[in-house]
Amino acid sequence: MDSEALRKFSALHPRPAGLTLHYGTAGFRSAAQHLDHVVFRMGLLAALRSKAVTATIGIMVTASHNPEEDNGVKLVDPLGEMLHPSWEEYATQLANAEEQELEKVITEICQKAAVNLHKDASVFIGRDTRPSSKKLSQSVIDGIQVLGGQYHDYGLVTTPQLHYMVCCQNTQGQYGKATLEGYYEKLSKAFMELIKQSHCSGEFQRHLKIDCANGIGALKLSEMKPYFPQEVLFHIYNDGTKEKLNHLCGADFVKVHQKPPGGLDMKPNERCCSFDGDADRIVYYYKDTADHFHLIDGDKIATLISIFLKELLAKVKQDFKMAVVQTAYANGNSTRYLQETLKVPVHCVKTGVKHLHHKAQEFDVGVYFEANGHGTVLFSKAAETKIRQLVKEEKDNEKREAAKMLENMIDLINQVADRRVIDTTDAERRALTPPGLQEKIDALVHKYRLARAFVRPSGTEDVVRIYAEADTQENADALAHEVSLAVFHLAGGKGAPPQPI
């Protein structure tokens, strides 16, 4: 290790005294001005991780759905997965080390994780459109270079694009070409295959209005446009030229407020969707002729995909294991529908893509979605090959219209508010501390029909989140309010007690 270079560069990226940050649900997130030393050190860590696994590692500078003033950084493992949990602790140690202890901490990590510092390191870098992201990604480069690593800076990319590049690189192109062109070609080809099979009420052109949360999605979607056939028409809204990132728009806004984003004028039955700031979430929505807003969130997307896959699997004469993975935020009706009507096993895990992904890997077909719109489907090689074969052979597909399934699900209303720190268990569905809180929540839930509620500390912000669902909007609001009052009283709430919603 070049101790001199390490000293020199870490002095250029000083750690503000007394600031402690943790590698959370999706990496580090904080106000952008607190992150320079963290991203420099994550450059160091990415180089170490690359040396440890002899593969290219990704590093993304983004704070996803957080406000524009925030930023964050997360590492991507060789197959495009989230950083292995065993390394999260090293990330936290490195981020919080005193400057003069940095070399010692690096040496300790090398010992614990059997890293040979003489090996080569290769890191792919990406960033979102936040004003602070460019400078922070420069600091990442400093970190990589101090440990003698090579890097490729992809500049402005979506989070999924960076994951894709890393996976392509480490599978020697088997997954696709590690270029933006390769990404657009792969996705548009798959999309066209898919729509060939769908029946689309005879329309020649299909329109989709897309709210890009004033983020990177707008840029990348514009680049992707030429790869789609003429009959698919995208209309981009909230492209970042006028308003702030994630402000009154984006997937999180639409999900939380159950209404269309600002800046998107929606006519009855028009198809609309929203990304978040780094374009790794999507939710769909439309309004009907009676002006009612309908949200197709992660729960419904997972259910629709499951209906489709379940039908395909029934035709494949092999016993593939399929399951859906959700979090505690999943609407209770979607869980019931999947388990009872569709007969698909459902598993509940902690919030965060890494937990869902990990669980979904246990199955031949693992569908995972968070209610907020993060998700995908994983296939075992054998299941993927069989399904591809079948899809190719299938000429006469039945109609699978969203409406059919939506009739089977009644929307329950979810309310989320913020409060103080709490410890949880059972995939975050039950509170262990403070004493008495869980009992109180149980009693409150008991008062309402088809109700659920839970509280959990946020993994990305300094707040506690409160979730409630019930048979009507009024009841869900009332339950959320009662639970937030219980949190306020039992968990030392600050300021005035929460007001009714």
Give me the least distance between CB of 3 and ligand 16G, in Å please: 35
* Binding to Zn ion in span 88-107, by CB under 5 A: none
CA–CA gap between residue 308 and residue 314 (Å, rounded): 10
353 binds, among Zn ion, ligand 16G, none (CB under 5 to 8 A by kind): ligand 16G
Q: List the beta bridge partners of residue 221.
A: none
Most distant CA pair in the chain, distance: 69
Residue 419 CB, shortest distance to Zn ion, in Å, is 23
Which residues, 6 or more positions from 22, have their beta carbon under 8 angstroms from its beta carbon?
A: 28, 92
Q: Is 64 a catalytic residue?
A: yes
Q: Nearest distance from residue 180's CB to Zn ion, in Å?
A: 19
Among 11-19, 58-66, 242-250, 352-360, the segment contacting Zn ion (CB under 5 A): 58-66
Kindly state the tokens that stand for 170: 């480490």
In the bound state with Zn ion, the residue whose beta carbon lies nearer, of 64 and 139, is 64
Candidates 295, 253, 280; CA nearest to 376 is 280
Does 143 contact ligand 16G by CB under 6 A?
no
Q: If binding is defined by CB under 6 A, does position 460 make contact with ligand 16G? A: yes
64 binds Zn ion (CB under 5 A): yes
Say which of 64, 122, 132, 274 is annotated catalytic: 64
For ligand 16G, the closer of residues 146 and 162 by Cβ is 162
Find out whether 370 and 327 touch, Cβ atoms under 8 Å: yes
3-state secondary structure of 86: helix
Site map 258..277 versus Zn ion, x via CB under 5 A: ------------------x-
Q: Is 92 helix (H, G, I), strand (E, B) or coil?
A: helix
As measured in angstroms, the least distance from the Cβ of 463 to ligand 16G is: 7
Phi and psi, residue 33, nearest 5°: -70, -10
Among positions 6, 26, 216, 478, the unique one binding ligand 16G when judged by CB under 6 A: 26
Among Zn ion, ligand 16G, none, the one that 465 touches (CB under a kind-dependent 5 to 8 A) is ligand 16G
**Under the criterion CB under 6 A, does residue 459 sit at the interface with ligand 16G?**
yes
Q: 56 and 168 in contact (C-beta within 8 Å)? A: no
274 binds ligand 16G, rule: CB under 6 A: no
Q: Taking a C-beta distance cutoff of 8 angstroms, is the pair 422, 483 a contact?
A: no
Q: Does 333 bind ligand 16G (CB under 6 A)?
A: no
Q: Does 64 bind ligand 16G (CB under 6 A)?
A: yes
Helix (H) or strand (E) holding 42: helix 36-53
Of 228 and 275, which has the nearer Cβ to ligand 16G? 275
Q: How far apart are CA 58 and CA 395, in angstroms?
A: 41
Q: DSSP code of 174?
A: S
Joined tokens for residue 434: 């403070």
Residue type, 414: N
Catalytic machinery residues? 64
Which parts of this chain interact with ligand 16G (CB under 6 A)?
25-26, 64, 351-354, 370, 372, 374, 458-461, 465
Which parts of this chain interact with Zn ion (CB under 5 A)?
64, 276, 278, 280
